[in-house]
Amino acid sequence: MKSEWKSLIKNKSILAGLIAVLFIPVLYCGTFLWAFWDPYDATDEIRVAVVNQDEAVDYNGTSINFGERIVEQLENNESFGWEFVSKEEAMEGLEDQAYFMMVEIPKDFSENSTTALRSNPTQPTLLYTPHESRNFLVTMIEKSGVESLQQNVSNTLTSTYIKTLTETMKQTSEGLMTASESTTKLADTISVMQNNYDTVIQSHPSLTADQKNQSISSFNSLNEGANSLATSLTDGTEQLQDVNLTQENIDMIANPVKINTDKFTSVPNYGHGFAPFTLSLGLFIGAMLISIVFPVRDTVFTPSSPFSWFISKFSIIGLAAIIQAIIACVFLLGILELEVGNVGYFLLFTLFTSLAFIALIQLIVSVLGEKGRFLIILLLILQITSSGGTFPVEMIPNILQEASTYLPMTYSVSGFRALVSNSNNDLMWQNIGFLSIFAFISIIGTLCYLTFKHRKIDKEEGNITNENFNIR
C-alpha cells in the first residue's frame, strides 16, 4: 500500500488527474443547478408575438375596444416578453425562430363580446399559435400563461356584463318604484274627490246638469291617468321579463372567452420534444467513448506524413462515428417510430453531427492527451446546461447564454429540432453550416498538431541516425 501511495505522489500527472476528477461531481451538480435554479423567473425572456386586429364597437352608446384593453394588460404583464407586432411580422418571427408563440386578437373580438346579454350570443375567441418544435418544454409554460391570460380577460368581460345587467335592472326598478308611488297617490286623490263629489251633490241639489257633467269629465281624466300608470307598470314588468337570461347567456357570462389553438409546429409527446437533446448527447458521449477505446493519436508504426497519420486514425474513428449514428437512427425511426419531416435529411444531419463531434474530440485528445479527457467532460457538462436542450437558452444565466454560441451541441439540438416533427430544411442547413465550422477547425487543428509532431519525430530519428553514423 505504501508503494502505491509513493508512486501516486511521485507521478504528478496521475495525481493531478485524480484531484481533477474529484471535482467532476460538484462541477456537474453545481453547473446544472446554477443554470436551472429558477428558470421560471426568466420567462420574461421568452419572446411572444401579440397581434391585435380587434375593431371598436358601440355598446350602449359607448365605444368599446376590448383588444386595446388586453394589450394594456399585457404591457404591464411580465410573465412573458410580449411584443406587439403585425400578423406578417409575427409569422416571419415564428419561421425565423424569433418567437416561441403568437397570440392573436381577431377583429370581431369586441363585437362578439357585446352579445352576451342577447339571444344567440357569440363567444369571443383568442387565437393561440404555439411553436412546439422551438422548445417543447416552453410550450408547457406557454400553455399555462395563455390560460392565465384567458382567465384575466374573462374576468374583465364578466365584470362588464354584470355591471351592464345591474344597471339595466336598476333603471327598470327605479321606474317601477316611481310609477307605483304615483299610482298610490292618484288612487288616494280619486278616493278623496269621490267622497267630496258625493257630499257636494247632496249639499247642492240646485246644480245644473252641465255642472254635473263637468265634474264627471274630471273624474274620467283622472281615470285615464291611472290607466296610463298601469300601462307603465306593465311595460316595466315586460322589461324585467326581457332580462330573463337563457342558459347560453349564463354560460357566456361565466366563461366569456375561449381559446382556439392553431399550432405552427406540432410535437406529439415528450419523447419527440426531448429527442433532439438526447440524440445530440448520445452522439457526443459515443464519440468520447470511441476516443477512449481507440487511440486517436498514437500509431503502431511511424507514419509517412502528417496527412497519412490523420487519415489512418480518422478513417477508423470516423467510420465508428458513422456506424453509431446509423444505429441511433435505425433505433429511433424503426423501434421508437420517431416522426421526422424528412428521413433522408435526418440521417444526413445525424451523420454530420457525429462526425463533427468525433473531429472535435480527436483534436482535444491529440493535443492534450489524457488531460484532454477532463476538458471533454467539462465541455459535456457545459453543453448539457447551455445547449438549450431542456429549457431554452433565453432562460439560463447570461454567461451560459454567451457560452452556448461556441458549443457544437447548441447547433446539433437546433438542427434536430428543425427535423423532428418538423420540416424546416433551411434551418437544418444553417446548423450544418455552423457544425461545419467546428469540424473544419478541428480537422485543421489536428493536422497542424500532427504536422508538428511528425517533424519532431523526423528530427529525433535524424539525430539518432547521425549518432549511429558518428559511432561507425
- Mean pLDDT for 137-155 is 86
Using only C-alpha atoms, the chain has a radius of gyration, in whole angstroms, of 41
Instruction: Name the pairing type of β-strands 101-105 and 47-52.
Output: parallel
Q: What whole-number distance in Å separates Cα of residue 325 and Cα of residue 354?
A: 6
Residue 159, Cβ density class (10 Å: 0-12 exposed, 13-18 middle, ≥19 buried): exposed
Whether the per-residue pLDDT at 165 is higher than 60: the answer is no
C-alpha cell at 178: 316611481
- Which strands make up the sheet holding 47-52, listed edge to edge? 81-84, 47-52, 101-105, 125-130, 258-261
With 70 as the cut, is the pLDDT of residue 203 above it? no
At residue 469, does pLDDT exceed 50? no
What's the pLDDT band for 11 if we cut at 50, 70, 90? confident
Task: Please say whether the beta carbons of 183 and 233 come within 8 A.
Answer: yes
Residue 103: strand pairing partners: 50, 128
- Give the residue-averaged pLDDT of 366-389: 92
Which positions ≥6 away from 107 have C-beta within 8 Å?
53, 54, 55
Q: What is the pLDDT of residues 31-86, one digit of tens each?
A: 888 888 888 888 899 999 999 999 999 877 788 899 999 999 899 888 899 999 99
pLDDT at residue 184 is higher than 60: no
Distance CA 457, CA 466 (A): 14
Can you give the pLDDT at residue 201? 54
Which of the residue ranges 202-206, 357-361, 383-387, 427-431 would you say has the lowest mean pLDDT?
202-206
In this prediction, residue 153 has a pLDDT band, given cuts at 50, 70 and 90, of confident
> What is this structure's pTM?
0.78
Q: At residue 178, does pLDDT exceed 70?
A: no
In DSSP notation, 140-189 reads HHHHHHHHHHHHHHHHHHHHHHHHHHHHHHHHHHHHHHHHHHHHHHHHHH
pLDDT bracket for residue 463 (50, 70, 90): low
Q: Which of 156-170, 271-285, 415-429 holds the top average pLDDT? A: 271-285
Using CA atoms, how far apart are residues 223 and 230, in angstroms rounded to an integer?
10
Which residue has better confidence, 201 or 27? 27
- The three cell numbers locating residue 89: 411580422
| CB-count burial class (<10 Å; 0-12, 13-18, 19+) for 4 | exposed
Question: Rounded to whole angstroms, how far apart are CA atoms 240 and 237?
Answer: 5
Instruction: Check whether 286 has a pLDDT greater than 90.
Output: yes
**Residue 358 cell numbers, joined:** 468525433
259 has which bridge partners? 126
Which has more pLDDT, 289 or 7? 289
312, 446 Cβ separation under 8 angstroms = no
What pLDDT shows up at residue 205? Answer: 59
User: Phi/psi of residue 125, each to 5°?
Assistant: -130, 135
Residue 236 Cα distances to 61, 123, 231, angstroms: 21, 29, 9
In this prediction, residue 404 has a pLDDT band, given cuts at 50, 70 and 90, of very high
Query: 137 with 273: CB under 8 angstroms?
Result: yes
pLDDT at 402 over 50: yes
Q: Is 248 exposed, middle or buried (0-12, 13-18, 19+ CB in 10 A)?
A: middle
Residue with cell 508512486: 7
Angle in degrees, CA 437, 442, 444, rounded to 5: 95
Bigger pLDDT: 212 vs 147: 147
Compute the distance between CA of residue 169 and CA of residue 466 in angstroms, rounded to an integer. Answer: 114
* Per-residue three-class SS string for 94-124: HHCCCCCEEEEECCCHHHHHCCCCCCCCCCC
Indicate left, alpha or beta for 369 from its phi (over 0: left) and psi (-120 to 50: alpha): left
3-state secondary structure of 304: coil
Contacts of 82 (CB under 8 A, 6+ apart): 48, 50, 74, 75
Residue in the structure block whose three cell numbers are 437512427: 329
**Cβ atoms of 67 and 54 closer than 8 Å:** yes
Q: In which band, very low, low, confident or very high, does the pLDDT at 14 lie, cut at 50, 70 and 90?
A: confident
Least confident of 220-234, 340-354, 435-449: 220-234
Q: Residue 465: which pLDDT band, with cuts at 50, 70 and 90?
A: very low
Per-residue pLDDT band for 460 (boundaries 50, 70, 90) equals low
What does residue 63 show for φ and ψ, rounded to 5 degrees? -80, 125
